[in-house]
Chains A and B, each alone.
Chain A
Amino acid sequence: MTYSGFRVIREALTGHKGWRPVWRDSKPKPSYDFVIIGGGGHGLATAYYLAREFGEANIAVVEKGWIGGGNVGRNTTIIRSNYLLDGNEPFYEFSLKLWESLEQELNYNAMVSQRGILNLVHSDAQRDAARRRGNAMILNGSDAELLDVDGVRKLYPFLNFDNARFPIKGGLLHRRGGTVRHDAVAWGYARGADRRGVDIIQNCEVTGFRIENGRCLGVETTKGFIGATKLGVSVAGSSSRVMAMAGMRLPIESHVLQAFASEGLKPTLPGVITYGAGHFYCSQSNKGGLVFGGDIDGYNSYAQRGNLPAVEDVAESGISLIPALGRVRLLRSWGGIMDMSMDGSPFIDKTPIDGLYFNGGWCYGGFKATPAAGFAFAHLMSTDRPHKTATAYRLDRFRTGQIIDEKGQGAQPNLH
């Protein structure tokens, strides 16, 4: 079924009887050529691109709960291609280009909104770093503009220019960055994959791997054994737990990141703003709620909830940047488990076990990567070669020292 405005009108006039499930709720077959563990954004995108781009068939996505229930359903919805390092920026630029054509590609309105992201700078050193980054972005085909304080004021006159502890000195504007309706990404990819024959198996928890002679043969699940010629693991937040079943230890710690939404407001914030002097980034959803977040709480956690200090920290930063936010009410908070890797960058790689592939370690930047991560993971699984933009995301990079450390914090996962 193709979605369109005409279709919506026709259905409205005929009592909406024609709408069908957006994806089939499949039962597992005994085996598949490709099985993806994890029905989040990345997993569903991987299945979609395996079918759509690499012509593969006989594909299943296995999800413990309901699709889209992990971090793709709990994030601050930002997409951007404003990375500094060579290992990263081409990948995120590839991802942003996929976002730009995603809705037409999927025939699903995920509300990709390129409303611009402004990273504020508050010191000469930050401006220098922004210049280096902005140049790296442009050299990699992305877009960037360096604004002075008047340029920032023109865009956002309501920021704290006059009474700031750390005055705004300018900002790096990335106009093609923006936001996406996060849930719709999962649903759109699920629908696209489903239309290409992918089985989406929900409420099916992986309980173990069947590995013989160094080769992965499939997974044990709560719905029985599912054989797989190639098995991809894409389970952000649960990577360590799932890969431990395959006997692997990962350079990953699990941390909780809280994020927040305010009550609905009439248009307040046109684009996305990130504070350079504190932990705060904010945008406004199309429904009117401000969506914002800050830092991870900072301790290992699988509890999917955080504590008050991180909330207060975000509020302090938010109001220090936008004093009018004092009267905005925080409506909802949530906590997601982040795969914090040892250098802040992800992994898309084969494992030492034949037929077992891994995608994870996205820290809290996995959402914007969804299309490219799905594409690159599908590329790797289909061709056994890394996609050209994802060659750096190797599991062995800490052995070799080819670290991709955007923040320069070293092996301290809670600082990435």
Chain B
Amino acid sequence: MTQVNRLSGGRLDRSKSLSFSFNGKAYKGYQGDTLASALLANDVRLVGRSFKSHRPRGIFSAGSEEPNALVELGSGARQDPNTRATTTELFDGLTARSQNHWPSLKYDLLAVNDRLSGFLTAGFYYKTFTWPATFWEKLYEPIIRRAAGLGSLSMQNDPDLYDKGFLHCDLLVIGAGPAGLAAALTAGRSGARVLLAEEEFLLGGRLIAEDMALGDDPAAHWVARVQAELSSMDNVRILLRTTVNGAYDHGVYSALERVSDHMASPEQGKPRQVLWRIYPKQALVCTGAIERPIAFENNDRPGVMLGGAVRAYANRWAVTPAQSVVVFTNSNDGHRTAKDLLGKGISIPAIIDIRQDAPRLSGVEVLAGAQVIDSSGRSGLKSIKARLANGEIRSFACGALAVSGGWNPNLSLTCHQRSRPEWCEDIASFVPRRDLPPGQLVAGAARGDFSTSRALQGGMNEALKALQNIGLTGQGIELPKAEDADPSLTPFWHVNGAKGRAWVDLQNDVTVKDVTLAHQEGFRSVEHLKRYTTLGMATDQGKTSNIGGLAVMAELTGKAIPETGTTMFRPPYTPVALGALAGRSVGKDFHPTRKTPSHKWAEEQGAVFVETGNWLRAQWFPQPGETHWRQTVDREARAVRKSVGVCDVTTLGKIDVQGSDAATFLNKIYANGFAKLQVGKVRYGIMLREDGIAYDDGTAARFAEDHFVVTTTTANAVLVYRNMEFARQCLWPDLDVQMISTTEAWAQYAIAGPNSRQVLQKVVDPEHDISNEAFPFMACREVTICGGLRARLFRISFSGELAYELAVPARFGDALIRSLMAAGAEYDVVPYGTEALGVLRVEKGHAAGAELNGTTTSLNLGLGRMVSKKKDFIGATLSRRDGLNGEDQLTLVGFQPVSKGDFIVSGMHLMNNEAPTDAANDQGYLTSAIHSPNLGHSIGLGFLKNGHDRLGETLRAVNPLEGGEVAVEVLSPHFIDPEGERLRD
């Protein structure tokens, strides 16, 4: 027989029967069920195993505080470990499996831990497993790791999409129970923009979990009316299945909307979940309260449940966990459970009420002053044992025990900015402090107002207050009459005198004894308690256990609970899938992709691309028949030195600097002089950080008295611009200088090689004379090309050859590369990529990123003489510190293998010939090593102690990491054309 525990009524759509499976067995439920309610309906009691002792566990709660009923939901790449059955909406075809057992849920061999529980107390692992030392990683740890953990991850790529969104509103109402609904309605009617976020898939909170009237109607009717009215308002947006899980600085909230988790898979193109970042002007926390259990011996069996949850299952989901339910309580709340269940025809053998003055309830035996002291039933509760007020012990057969130890305001969001809650004696719990985070208010049970009437009233009042805070006016609404009962609670945390284990934290198997042991061993602060016993560290974040553990510790130390401490609340309120936090910025979209103007053309040529920061650059252009990248790169580099090549250098940072003080300004920015640079000239410049370290090099071209174009390295384009703005705005605010980054605005190509001028002359319009005399090395000029297109021409060279850089507005970049290639055809022009660019610059001895590594000075780089001593510039003073100028400075030199057939690689360290290979004898390291096609052997640049005094020496380049060493000769870094004649031809 199916659904033996199904009752009548409830908020279910019984016309929609749903099939699902648990551990491979098929079951039925209804639309409106959760996985938990459907399992209970089918009398499935054992649903999981506890973390440490592998004890059988059942459903404990009816919400996101669930510690026990965690399942692996779905399968394949959509397998979701540790999913709470209590918040999982049932859908047709749902499959779930229990977790943390072997070989099966019913017969779990790891339950041997339970037999060994006497040994496996809190922190036992700190005291053993240290001998022999090598056994930890090999033996003990793998066993512990395999036994620990809960659900398993598929390790397949998550197939689902996640989105992010931003929402703005006047009032964010968090939680749609009585307080939240009253608040949303009050604010909605005032015309304010309202967001109502509700964790569940129905509005109402406890209003639909209780058998309760509002005014003359069942509460659900009022909820339906409010929902209808809110839905009709354009200024109100209701977000169901949306958990506000973080309260951040300046009133920013994060919320997770589970868009598709109630379906087998998301609809086509829809995300699984959306992470909202919400910017409300005011936020009202109406998150209700969470019930707490009472610890007693063997209180962890399937069937022992929170009373409010039992009620919710009966009233909302029309399910009873068993046909016979005993109630254990310290307040009138338990009596409410008994009453509701009686009304549904469930047998209540007894209410065990710890209060001596417990009220009576007709139709039930109320045992005042009694306590539950034990339970039995290995994989499901069979009976409980109670000690009556007179000391008599009585057993009660029952399938479930509804436990109520009182309620804790759910104040997590009020404490995310590290404020600590304060203790309220009336409800024996923590309540939010008065000084809430700016812009935040709290109402209803979350504030400790537990009656429905006070929740409704509080919601309305706080909404009015919120409106007033932002200059809006609202009016009170007519609230229905509601119960206004006092819970009459007698604080009671655990049953004394237990010989066995009484659980405080169900998931992590922390018992009263563990807390006692922690106390005995000196772990008495809350933080120590938590860390030593793992109390509250499970996936439920201690929602039902933290205060219980604290209460036991308080009892042991003889202090009051608030003196003993509180725990911290940090985001997220409930666990959030990393997928949702990442959104779409993953995989190929992890970072934006920047493409150069010649990208399409390069693709057509079959170029191989390489990531350079966010840029994709052509690395080389393979030709048919080339089977190894080296063949391609060698060919490209040779072609440049022999005839001509073209390379897209658009990625270099470009900064347009204008103003009558532009030269003065650049003179402060660069370490070398720029004040006297002539119009029409370019100068190579080096920039230091204020600490005197060289961080970027590039050129500045002067196009007019008041106009420069600065180039930076690709890597530092953003940083240099930022630093220049800092200098302009913060250091020298009255200089007449303006600047803008134009990196993307101009496409720029290097045309390099002895035939570069011939190629250019075919492109540059004839009225511009670019002969060597008219346009010498380091000249720059605005020209027109291809019959009138405005362009900038620079005669600068990175390769060491006669070379130019030609820039056009970016939208002409594609046309220009095609024109250049066409014009160069008669000279066998080649496109060359970043790899050949690197080869050419190493041959020439130019420093690049590997040398400008953030720790090297201009002295290290061999550029010391460039640095002006006559002016102030960023980095001038501190570059003169002794430590940056003393003996044994590393200087940039060139290297080649003594035996030309040997290869050297970047990252080799340099050792003197006779010295041992160790750190004490380290002489430096290789920064850039290449095969030089023009020299026919391996060469490299590197930093060597006193390198400039050691030219001609032989050293050992060692690579213990990969093995091997190479005898190298120290050379000038300028392997090709050291006099620079080619540049000036």
Contact = CB atoms under 8 A, between A and B. Distances in A.
Chains A and B share a contact (CB less than 8 Å): yes
A320 B855 contact: no
Contacts of A307: 248-249, 252
B2 interface: no
A187 B907 contact: no
Contacts of A244: none
Contact of B925 (A65, A108, A132): A132
Contacts of B79: 327
Interface in B492-545: 513, 517, 520-523, 525, 527-528, 531-532, 534, 537-539, 541
Contact of B127 (A4, A329, A397): A4
A184 B531 CA distance: 9
A184 B960 contact: no
A165 B155 contact: no
B692 interface: yes
Interface string A132-149: 111110111100111000
B563 interface: no
A133 B878 CA distance: 27
B146 interface: yes
A16 B120 CA distance: 11
Interface in B138-172: 141, 144-146, 148-158, 160, 162, 164
B536 to A, nearest CB: 10
Contacts of B249: 307
Given A128-B850, A330-B578, A332-B541, A111 B525 contact: no
Contacts of B962: 131, 146
Interface in B556-611: 570-572, 575-579, 581-583, 585-591, 593, 610-611
A312 B124 contact: no
A33 B21 CA distance: 69
B527 A66 contact: yes
Interface in B878-911: 878, 881-885, 905-909
Nearest to A320: B590
Contact of A125 (B146, B517, B587, B849): B849
B692 A401 contact: yes
B859 to A, nearest CB: 11
Q: Classify the interface of chain B: helix, strand, loop or mixed.
A: loop
A184 B590 contact: no
A260 to B, nearest CB: 9
Contacts of B137: 113-115
B591 A165 contact: yes
Nearest to A315: B581
B128 A267 contact: no
A98 to B, nearest CB: 13
Interface size range of chain B in the complex = 35 or more
B362 to A, nearest CB: 45
Q: From A188, A317, A325, name the one whose CB has the most chain B CB atoms within 10 angstroms.
A: A325
A154 interface: no
B528 A66 contact: yes
B577 A327 contact: yes
A140 B129 CA distance: 31
Interface size range of chain A in the complex = 35 or more
Interface string B604-648: 000000110000000000000000000000000000000000000
A22 B523 contact: yes
Contacts of A411: 689-691
Interface string B848-878: 0110011100000000000000000000001
Contact of B152 (A4, A266, A312): A266
Given A12-B118, A22-B521, A411-B691, A402 B883 contact: yes
Contacts of B849: 125
Contact of B571 (A127, A135, A333): A333
A279 to B, nearest CB: 11
Interface stretch (A156-164, A227-235, A350-358): A156-164
B370 interface: no
Interface string A103-126: 110011111111100000011010
A266 B611 contact: no
Contacts of B340: none
A163 B587 contact: yes
Interface in B57-98: 78-82
Contact of B541 (A23, A331, A408): A331
B914 interface: no
A308 B517 contact: no
Given A327-B158, A331-B539, A130 B133 contact: no
B107 interface: no
Contact of A312 (B583, B593, B610, B917): B583
Given A4-B131, A163-B588, A288 B150 contact: yes
Interface string A286-326: 11100000000000000111011001101111111001111
Given A109-B126, A327-B153, 15 more contacts: A69-B525, A101-B133, A110-B126, A111-B136, A135-B958, A140-B919, A266-B151, A266-B153, A287-B149, A312-B275, A319-B158, A324-B156, A326-B158, A329-B575, A332-B541
11 contacts: A104-B130, A132-B909, A144-B961, A265-B153, A287-B51, A315-B582, A316-B583, A327-B79, A327-B153, A327-B158, A333-B570
